[in-house]
Structure 1
Amino acid sequence: MTGRFDRLSLNLKSLTAEDRAVGVAVGAVLAGAIGLSVFNPLPGASATAETPAQAAAAQGTSSEGAVSATAEARREGFRVAPHRVKASEVIKMAESQIGVHEGAGGMTKYHRWYVSTPHAKATASRDGGRVAEYNGASWCNMFVSWVGAQVGAQGMGWDAYTVQHATWFKKSGKWGTTPKPGAVVFFDFKDGRSGGISGIEHVGFVKKDNGDGTITTVEGNTGNAVKEKVRKESQVVGYGYPDYR
């Protein structure tokens, strides 16, 4: 659940995939050209509902900047360029995956997606491993990253290792103890919050606070599948808060 690599190094030498994609999108805005729409998922998925040019034309903007931002986002592994989304969009995407199981060798589409992204090289290098080692590895955080990339959730972060992902949220000032819908929830099932970030062993999304000391979640790599669960808040280390609107 925590990810294959265990060597910590908290400072990447380059910007994150999300930062690079956001930068290109901001450049398009400054040029007076933005057209975020519903574009193709990763290769092999269904056709677009609207082309970048059509989206830009509908908004009275140039399609060139929109195409550039979209192309860069897709190269990084996003389905659409990062932007502020509603928490309900993330929850809906996560729920749509409930029932997805591991295949042969413990593989899922979340593994295949993650290793296809340039960010996988950065995290593997950081943690002292190889990209190939992600195949068949614990995938709860790859699932969280995949969901964020599918909806273009700004401020979701991106990792395969729960401890590093939680550390990123904390260093970004997006860390807390309130179970908000859509928050990324990090667990230490033995020690909870007292175990600290270094003790994190699992991650998922908060669907709702049940108001009785439990939360309803959607998680990957739970019994080798994506499942909805009810968890005790006492098992939670903390929550990461994406930039929802």
Structure 2
Amino acid sequence: MPCVPRPEKTPSAVRLIPAFAGIATGGAAAIILTAAGPAEASPTVALPHHAVGASAAIPFPPASQAKQWPIPGRGLDARPIKKPKENRPQKVPTAADALKLALSQVGTTETAAGGTKFNQWFMSSPFAKRGVQRDGGSIGDYANASWCDMFVTWVGAQVGVKGIGGDAFTPEHARWFQQQHRWGSAPKPGAVVFFAWNGGHGIDDIDHVGLVVKDNHNGTIQTVEGNTDDAVRIRTRSTDQVVGYGYPQYG
């Protein structure tokens, strides 16, 4: 026996849907599907009297016009779901990053007044305020002061290198590295190298500072330095003139 009873053959054939068979209780009219009229006409649903009135009927749209409800992230009128931003760790600057910036400044020279952009930047930095508090004078004194260490400080700050310190007075900068236990005698690329032209090996003998580009393994090192012949230049220096090396915290 078929699951759905075969209706009587009348002009308005009625088929009771099993899923709604139990609804016609309590005196309410049952929900029926009416297939009267031409085949292409939209079928209607007769609702219970207590719901919308005795003669109310809601047409079903043809399947081609039926509303398509969007799935989140897909379908009609749907906006793409944004993925949450990943908390990616920030890249720690490397020695190569610092040297790339330093070498890009080769050829930068002093102005006619004797200062550089490194002097101007240093004057606006907290390192200048600290230097005045320690050594006296005024921030304006840095405008035309020796700028080899200001150049090194500028490179470290621009790249975001930690553990490089900052100063305009080279002996104090070297002493800071010692206090941080980041001081040694190995010419590593990116290390801050401190020179004494008289060959002395004490902190107070230091005259000049730069960054190590590479160890030539022949008693010399290649460096990039500021305030050498009034400009940023690449130099080859004897390790006999080196007092020591400060090691920034590179990645």
Place the TM-score, normalised by the shorter chain, in its bin. Answer: 0.5 to 0.7
How do 1:53-68 and structure 2 match up within 5 A?
Answer: 59-61=85-87
Name which of 219, 229, 240 aligns with 2:246.
Answer: 240
Name which of 229, 238, 241 aligns with 2:235.
Answer: 229
So what's the TM-score if we normalise by structure 1? 0.66
Q: Distance in 2 between matches of 1:240 and 1:141?
A: 13
The alignment partner of 1:129 has SS state of: coil
Alpha carbons of 1:210 and 1:126: their partners in 2 closer, same or farther (altered >3 Å)? same
Q: Distance in 1 between matches of 2:167 and 2:114?
A: 19
Question: Structure 1 stretches (4+) deviating beyond 2 angstroms?
Answer: 57-62
Structure-1 residue corresponding to 2:220: 214
Higher helix share: 1
The alignment partner of 1:218 has SS state of: strand
User: Which letter maps to 1:107?
Assistant: G
Q: Distance in 2 between matches of 1:116 and 1:237?
A: 30
Alpha carbons of 1:192 and 1:210: their partners in 2 closer, same or farther (altered >3 Å)? farther
Q: Residue 58 of structure 1: CA displacement?
A: 8.3
The alignment partner of 2:227 has SS state of: coil
The answer to whether 1:97 aligns with 2:105 is: yes
Q: Residue 107 of structure 1: CA displacement?
A: 0.9
Larger radius of gyration: 2
Q: Distance in 2 between matches of 1:168 and 1:188?
A: 17
User: Which letter maps to 1:96?
Assistant: S
How do 1:14-163 and structure 2 match up within 5 A?
Answer: 59-61=85-87, 84-163=92-171
Q: Over aligned residues, Cα RMSD in angstroms? A: 2.0
Q: Distance in 2 between matches of 1:156 and 1:183?
A: 9
Q: Distance in 1 between matches of 2:237 and 2:84?
A: 44
Structure-1 residue corresponding to 2:211: 205
Deviations 1:131-184 (A, max 9, x none): 110011000000000000110001110111101100000010000001000000
Q: Residue 124 of structure 1: CA displacement?
A: 1.3
Q: Residue 117 of structure 1: CA displacement?
A: 1.5
Higher strand share: 2
Q: Distance in 2 between matches of 1:192 and 1:235?
A: 8
Deviates more, 1:127-136 or 1:222-231: 127-136
User: Which letter maps to 1:197?
Assistant: I
CA contact (8 A) 1:192 1:234 kept: no
The alignment partner of 1:226 has SS state of: strand
Q: Residue 119 of structure 1: CA displacement?
A: 2.7
Q: Distance in 2 between matches of 1:143 and 1:124?
A: 18
Alpha carbons of 1:210 and 1:134: their partners in 2 closer, same or farther (altered >3 Å)? same
Higher relative contact order (CA 8 A, sep 6+): 1
User: Which letter maps to 2:236?
Assistant: V
